[in-house]
């Protein structure tokens, strides 16, 4: 069952106003994630216990000196096709929302699953993201 679009719009807006691109179809996902370069993928969610800090963590990470080429998002429970396709790229990782993945040329380099987000402050989650940027994006 999909969430009411009116319910999720503020959660979408929290990322898109930062310049994060929404991917709404499997074609959108393949086009972006198969491209050269580094892509941060945020699996957005209505989960108040984890997503409420995941989105601000992404905002904090976007201030870091080192950045991926793209930051994109799919919305679990809303854009089912796009979310399922994005999770296809997260080989070996169980579906989790929210989650945050860093891919290079379509290959998973780093993943934060819900259990690694839940119960942590945004600045702690952002520190994990920026550490991954330093490790995987600094040379690209």
- Name the residues annotated as catalytic: 47, 49
**CA 103 – CA 120 distance, rounded (Å):** 23
Q: Which of 70, 74, 135 is nearest to 105 (CA)?
A: 70
Strand order in the sheet with 99-104: 21-22, 70-75, 38-44, 99-104, 107-112
**CA 77 – CA 92 distance, rounded (Å):** 21
């Amino acid at each position: 069952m999909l969430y009411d679009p009116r319910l999720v719009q503020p959660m979408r807006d929290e990322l898109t106003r930062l310049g994060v691109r929404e991917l709404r179809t499997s074609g959108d996902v393949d086009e972006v994630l198969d491209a050269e370069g580094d892509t941060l993928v945020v699996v957005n969610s209505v989960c108040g216990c984890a997503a409420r800090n995941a989105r601000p963590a992404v905002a904090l990470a976007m201030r870091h000196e080192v950045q991926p080429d793209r930051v994109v998002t799919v919305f679990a429970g809303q854009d089912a096709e796009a979310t399922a396709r994005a999770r296809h790229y997260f080989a070996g990782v169980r579906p989790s929302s929210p989650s945050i993945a860093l891919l290079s040329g379509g290959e998973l380099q780093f993943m934060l699953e819900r259990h690694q987000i839940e119960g942590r402050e945004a600045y702690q989650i952002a520190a994990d993201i920026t550490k991954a940027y330093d490790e995987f994006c600094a040379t690209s």
